[in-house]
């Protein structure tokens, strides 16, 4: 495939340093991209040369053995197995490159994307899909009140845009960064904001009540913000975890039961979600013009990682090789 544009996640430097799990080095990094198919193997029928596609990096052998090609993170228990080790040996190189060889299972066609005018912007699509998969785990969003924890990050920003596109009544953007929250508030009257105080009770009152809370936080020092989101739920509400929080949650058994709450996890996105999000973009319901991609090439990887680390929310680094 010819790589057209790839989102460089804000925490890529942490990944490169080895702080997010092991990588099968040496490798070409890169978890996802928008690309044009150059050639396919004889047994590939769902895409053809010339198609514009998303590479999702997700390779699933079943029974919890899932890898992300060119990236950290394993599905199932996250511990990996002899089989995921073999999978990573065969499919190790990602898409931060001019051309990439991708497993057919990781490639989803974007029908009609051949003429999309701004591929750097479109490279945010995979992150939108991860956010959408998390939101969909809570059921339909139309007419419901949704909160996004870590809305000042890129996954959280993607969730705010997706929830608005899918008809949420209100979207409460929750985070620490006041400037990033202000930008989200400017998206429209359905967006509320809450700046995290660090006090669970005050944060719960500021976030809710909501029907759906999506936790897209990075590595926090405590579980307080996540538990404030839990506390902010209305009866029958759902908390979905998609972030990078590495903390244990103390869930009160009786409260979860009596309030009929649901706690869900979501990891990556399936092909149907990719198609749904692309159709929202095509239809003009999900407006990518609010994004601010900062474009880099392949010539200075260290500078690109530094720049990505400084991006928040709706700003992101797009690698255009």
CB nearer to ligand NAP: pick between 123 and 154: 154
Site map (CB under 6 A) of ligand NAP, residues 60-79, x = contact = --------------------
> What are 301-305's contacts with CB under 8 Å, separation 24+?
304/8, 305/8, 305/12, 305/13, 305/16
Alpha-carbon gap, residue 200 to 227, rounded angstroms: 7
Minimum CB separation from ligand NAP for residue 292, in Å? Answer: 14
Residue 130 is classified by DSSP as H
Interface pick for ligand NAP out of 177, 197, 262, 279 (rule CB under 6 A): 177
Alpha-carbon gap, residue 167 to 183, rounded angstroms: 20
Alpha-carbon gap, residue 193 to 204, rounded angstroms: 13
The radius of gyration computed from the CA coordinates of the chain, to the nearest angstrom, equals: 19
Minimum CB separation from ligand NAP for residue 297, in Å? Answer: 21
Minimum CB separation from ligand NAP for residue 115, in Å? Answer: 29
CB nearer to ligand NAP: pick between 68 and 113: 68
Interface pick for ligand NAP out of 36, 92, 176, 190 (rule CB under 6 A): 176
CB nearer to ligand NAP: pick between 87 and 228: 228
Alpha-carbon gap, residue 285 to 164, rounded angstroms: 9
Size of the site for ligand NAP (CB under 6 A): 29
CB nearer to ligand NAP: pick between 163 and 242: 242
CB nearer to ligand NAP: pick between 8 and 280: 8
Q: Work out the number of other CB atoms within 10 angstroms of the CB of residue 28.
A: 14
Structure tokens at 179: 């400037």
CB nearer to ligand NAP: pick between 37 and 241: 241
Alpha-carbon gap, residue 254 to 301, rounded angstroms: 50
Query: By CB under 6 A, what part of segment 146-175 binds ligand NAP?
Result: 150, 152-156, 175
CB nearer to ligand NAP: pick between 138 and 268: 268
Q: Is 30 in the site for ligand NAP (CB under 6 A)?
A: no
Q: Work out the number of other CB atoms within 10 angstroms of the CB of residue 201.
A: 11
Alpha-carbon gap, residue 320 to 300, rounded angstroms: 12
Listed in sequence order, the DSSP H helices in the chain are: 12-16, 82-90, 119-122, 125-136, 154-165, 178-185, 200-207, 224-231, 253-258, 271-282, 301-310
Torsion region of 70: left, alpha or beta (phi above 0 gives left; psi -120 to 50 gives alpha):
left
Interface pick for ligand NAP out of 3, 6, 11, 128 (rule CB under 6 A): 11
Query: By CB under 6 A, what part of segment 266-305 binds ligand NAP?
Result: 266-268
Query: By CB under 6 A, what part of segment 209-268 binds ligand NAP?
Result: 216-221, 225, 242-244, 266-268
Minimum CB separation from ligand NAP for residue 312, in Å? Answer: 5
Minimum CB separation from ligand NAP for residue 236, in Å? Answer: 23
Which residues here bind ligand NAP, judged by CB under 6 A? 9-11, 130, 150, 152-156, 175-177, 180, 196, 216-221, 225, 242-244, 266-268, 312
């Amino acid at each position: 495939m010819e790589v057209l544009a790839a989102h460089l996640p804000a925490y890529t430097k942490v990944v490169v340093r080895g702080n997010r799990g092991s990588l099968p080095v040496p490798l070409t990094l890169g978890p996802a991209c928008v690309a044009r198919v150059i050639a396919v193997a004889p047994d590939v029928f769902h895409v053809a040369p010339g198609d514009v596609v998303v590479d999702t990096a997700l390779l699933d052998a079943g029974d919890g053995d899932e890898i992300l090609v060119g990236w950290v993170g394993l599905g199932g228990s996250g511990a990996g197995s002899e089989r995921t080790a073999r999978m990573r040996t065969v499919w190790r190189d990602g898409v931060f490159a001019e051309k990439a060889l991708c497993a057919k299972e990781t490639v989803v066609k974007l029908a009609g994307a051949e003429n999309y005018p701004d591929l750097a912007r479109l490279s945010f699509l995979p992150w939108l899909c991860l956010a959408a998969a998390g939101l969909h785990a809570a059921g339909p969003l139309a007419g419901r009140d949704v909160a996004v924890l870590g809305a000042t990050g890129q996954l959280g920003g993607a969730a705010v845009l997706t929830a608005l596109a899918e008809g949420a009544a209100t979207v409460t953007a929750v985070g620490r960064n006041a400037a990033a929250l202000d930008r989200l508030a400017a998206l429209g009257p359905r967006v509320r904001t809450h700046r995290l105080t660090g006090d669970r009770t005050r944060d719960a009152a500021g976030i809710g009540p909501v029907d759906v809370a999506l936790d897209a936080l990075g590595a926090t020092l405590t579980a307080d913000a996540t538990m404030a989101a839990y506390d902010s739920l209305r009866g029958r509400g759902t908390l979905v975890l998609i972030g990078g929080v590495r903390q244990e949650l103390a869930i009160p058994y009786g409260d979860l039961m009596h309030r009929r709450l649901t706690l869900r996890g979501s990891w990556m996105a399936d092909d149907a979600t990719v198609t749904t999000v692309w159709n929202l973009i095509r239809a003009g319901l999900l407006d990518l013009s609010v994004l601010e991609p900062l474009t880099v090439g392949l010539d200075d990887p260290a500078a690109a990682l530094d720049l990505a680390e400084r991006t928040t929310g709706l700003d992101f680094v797009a690698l255009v090789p």
